[in-house]
Amino acid sequence: MDPRYEGKPLLRIAELYVIAAIGELTPEHEGLLTTMSPKLCEVYGVDKEDPNKDWRDALEVALTFPEGTREVIADTWAKAQKISEEEKMALTPEQFALVFIDANVPHQEE
């Protein structure tokens, strides 16, 4: 296991949340998170019977993200892409997710 994730079970899911918010989640990860969705919703008190709720909503509760976080992430991604193009630097969705989470989510031991 990558030391980055040791003792931090939500960290990778948070990164995938960011990747999903920018529309870059792989079908493999989408399938895995969809499978995990009922349990995540149960653990974080999100109505898993509501067809409009899923793992994203559970993560927003777990990390106390405010309403509109997904839109903020998408806007930030668009700005970051523009800057990286102007600077002639590559920025992958994975890199963006790591930086976004490191800047916005405390990495607490759970």
Contact 14, 65 (CB under 8 A): no
Contact 85, 67 (CB under 8 A): no
Q: Give the domain extent around 28.
A: 3-104
Within a domain: residue 99?
yes
Distance of alpha carbon 75 from the chain centroid: 14
CA-CA-CA-CA torsion sign (30, 10, 23, 1): negative
Within a domain: residue 11?
yes
Within a domain: residue 51?
yes
**Is 105 or 70 the better-scoring residue by pLDDT?**
70
Across the range 93-102, mean pLDDT stands at 96
Within a domain: residue 109?
no
Domain count along the chain: 1
At 83, the pLDDT band (50, 70, 90 cuts) reads very high
Within a domain: residue 66?
yes
pLDDT at 1 over 90: no
Mean pLDDT of the residues in the chain: 93
Across the range 82-94, mean pLDDT stands at 95
pLDDT of residue 108: 53
pLDDT at 4 over 60: yes
Within a domain: residue 110?
no
- pLDDT tens per residue, range 34-60: 999 999 999 999 998 899 999 999 999
